[in-house]
Structure 1
Amino acid sequence: MKKLLYLLCLAGGLLSAEAQTIDDAYRYSTTELNGSARFIGMSGAFGSLGGDISAIAINPASSAVFLHSAGSLSFNINDIESDNSFNREVYTNGQSDFSLGNLGGVFVFNASDGNKWGKISLGINYSEMANYDDNFGVRGFTTKSIDQYFLQKANGISLDNLQRRDGESVNELYSYLGGNYGFDHQQAFLGYQAYVIEAKTNNPNNTEYFSLVEPGTFDQQYQYAATGVNGKLSFNLAGQYSDWLYVGANLNTHFINYERSSEISEFNNNSSESNFNATTDIYFGNNLSTSADGFSLQLGGIAKVGDNIRLGYTYQSPTWFNIREETSQYLETNSRENDFVSIAPNVINIYPEYTLQLPATHTTSISFLFGKSGLISGDFGFTDYSNMKYKPEADLYFQDLNNQISSSMGQVTTLKLGGEYRFDNLSLRAGYRLEGSPFEGENTAGELTGYSGGLGYRFGNLSLDVAYALANYDSSINPLDGNAVNPVYRDRSKSQVVMTLSFGL
Structure 2
Amino acid sequence: MQVKNIISAIALTAIATFSHAQNEVDALRYSQTFFGGTARYTGMGGSFGALGADLSVGTSNPAGLGRFSQNQFSFTLNNYSVSSNTEFGGTTSNSFVNRLKVDNIGILFASNRESKARGWRHLQFAFTYNRLADFSSNRYYEGEIFNSLLDVFAAQAYGVDPSLLYEYTPFTSALAWDTYAIDEVYDASGTVAYQPRLTNGNMYHKRSIQTRGGIGEYSLAFSGNYLNKLYIGGSINFQNTRYIEEYSHTEELTEPAGVSLRSFTYTWQQTTKGTGVNAKLGVIYAPIEDLRIGVAFHTPTIMHFKDSYRTGMNATHDTVYYEIPSNFEPQGEFSYRFASPLRAVFSGGYVVMKRLAINVEAELATYNKGNFRNSGDPMMAVSWETENQAIRNLYRTTVNLRTGLEFAFSPSFLARVGFAYYPSPYDKSVNNIGGAHYFYSAGIGYRWKKIFIDAGYRLHNTKIDYYAFNASDPTNLALITENKHQIAITLGLRF
What is the TM-score with the length of structure 2 in the denominator? Answer: 0.89
- Whichever residue aligns with residue 313 of structure 1, its letter is V
Deviation of the 1:21 alpha carbon: 2.3
Judge conservation of contact 1:78–1:98 (CA < 8 Å) in 2.
yes
What's the % identity of the aligned pairs? 22
- Whichever residue aligns with residue 436 of structure 1, its letter is P
Judge conservation of contact 2:171–2:311 (CA < 8 Å) in 1.
no
1:154 corresponds to which residue? 157
Deviation of the 1:398 alpha carbon: 1.8
1:32 corresponds to which residue? 34
Distance 1:124 1:151 in 2: 53
Which is further off, 439-448 or 196-205?
Answer: 196-205
What do the CA deviations read for 1:74-114 (whole angstroms, capped 9, x no partner)? 11122222111222211122222222111111101222434
Judge conservation of contact 1:91–1:138 (CA < 8 Å) in 2.
yes
Deviation of the 1:442 alpha carbon: 6.5
What do the CA deviations read for 1:385-413 (whole angstroms, capped 9, x no partner)? 11111113996552101111110111121
Distance 1:461 1:285 in 2: 53
1:307 aligns with 2:307: no
2:145 corresponds to which residue? 142
Which is further off, 258-267 or 474-483?
Answer: 474-483
Q: 1:114–1:356: structure 2 CA closer, same or farther, 3 Å change rule?
A: closer
1:187 aligns with one of 172, 177, 189? 172
2:3 corresponds to which residue? none
- Whichever residue aligns with residue 437 of structure 1, its letter is S
1:432 aligns with 2:419: yes
3-state DSSP of counterpart to 2:354: coil
Deviation of the 1:262 alpha carbon: 0.8
Deviation of the 1:66 alpha carbon: 0.2
Deviation of the 1:269 alpha carbon: 4.1
Which is further off, 189-198 or 205-214?
Answer: 205-214
Distance 1:320 1:157 in 2: 38
Distance 2:492 2:14 in 1: 48
Judge conservation of contact 1:13–1:349 (CA < 8 Å) in 2.
no
3-state DSSP of counterpart to 1:192: helix
- Whichever residue aligns with residue 275 of structure 2, its letter is D
Q: 1:478–1:404: structure 2 CA closer, same or farther, 3 Å change rule?
A: same
Deviation of the 1:483 alpha carbon: 5.9
Q: 1:59–1:330: structure 2 CA closer, same or farther, 3 Å change rule?
A: same
1:3 corresponds to which residue? none
- Whichever residue aligns with residue 224 of structure 2, its letter is G
1:47-126 aligned within 5 A:
47-111=49-113, 112-126=115-129
Distance 2:382 2:390 in 1: 13
3-state DSSP of counterpart to 2:476: coil
Distance 1:13 1:305 in 2: 66
User: Which consecutive unaligned segments of at least 5 residues does structure 2 have?
Assistant: 1-11
What do the CA deviations read for 1:295-323 (whole angstroms, capped 9, x no partner)? 11111111111122100011111111111
2:432 corresponds to which residue? 443
- Whichever residue aligns with residue 421 of structure 1, its letter is F
Q: 1:455–1:186: structure 2 CA closer, same or farther, 3 Å change rule?
A: closer
Distance 1:201 1:78 in 2: 52
Judge conservation of contact 2:94–2:140 (CA < 8 Å) in 1.
no
1:268 aligns with one of 253, 262, 271? 253
1:491 corresponds to which residue? 481
Judge conservation of contact 1:33–1:129 (CA < 8 Å) in 2.
yes
Judge conservation of contact 2:421–2:438 (CA < 8 Å) in 1.
yes
1:206-245 aligned within 5 A:
206-245=191-230
Q: 1:348–1:280: structure 2 CA closer, same or farther, 3 Å change rule?
A: closer
2:447 corresponds to which residue? 458
Deviation of the 1:329 alpha carbon: 0.9
3-state DSSP of counterpart to 2:269: strand
Deviation of the 1:197 alpha carbon: 2.2
- Whichever residue aligns with residue 153 of structure 1, its letter is Q
Judge conservation of contact 1:82–1:492 (CA < 8 Å) in 2.
yes
1:340 aligns with 2:342: no
Deviation of the 1:203 alpha carbon: 12
- Whichever residue aligns with residue 385 of structure 1, its letter is Y
Distance 1:190 1:397 in 2: 26
- Whichever residue aligns with residue 37 of structure 2, its letter is G
Distance 1:61 1:297 in 2: 13
Q: 1:12–1:293: structure 2 CA closer, same or farther, 3 Å change rule?
A: farther
Deviation of the 1:233 alpha carbon: 0.6
Judge conservation of contact 1:452–1:469 (CA < 8 Å) in 2.
yes
CA-based RMSD of the aligned residues comes to 2.5
1:387 aligns with 2:369: yes
Q: 1:12–1:463: structure 2 CA closer, same or farther, 3 Å change rule?
A: farther
Judge conservation of contact 1:159–1:205 (CA < 8 Å) in 2.
no
2:7 corresponds to which residue? none
Deviation of the 1:491 alpha carbon: 0.6
Distance 2:420 2:277 in 1: 27
User: Which consecutive unaligned segments of at least 5 residues does structure 1 have?
Assistant: 1-10, 163-173
3-state DSSP of counterpart to 1:352: strand
Deviation of the 1:420 alpha carbon: 1.3
Q: 1:479–1:205: structure 2 CA closer, same or farther, 3 Å change rule?
A: same
- Whichever residue aligns with residue 413 of structure 1, its letter is V
- Whichever residue aligns with residue 220 of structure 1, its letter is H
Judge conservation of contact 2:236–2:279 (CA < 8 Å) in 1.
yes
3-state DSSP of counterpart to 1:470: strand
Q: 1:284–1:120: structure 2 CA closer, same or farther, 3 Å change rule?
A: same
Judge conservation of contact 2:313–2:324 (CA < 8 Å) in 1.
yes
3-state DSSP of counterpart to 1:67: coil
Q: 1:225–1:13: structure 2 CA closer, same or farther, 3 Å change rule?
A: farther
2:279 corresponds to which residue? 297
Distance 1:453 1:364 in 2: 22
Distance 2:212 2:227 in 1: 47
2:4 corresponds to which residue? none
Aligned residues: 474
3-state DSSP of counterpart to 2:56: helix
Deviation of the 1:28 alpha carbon: 2.1
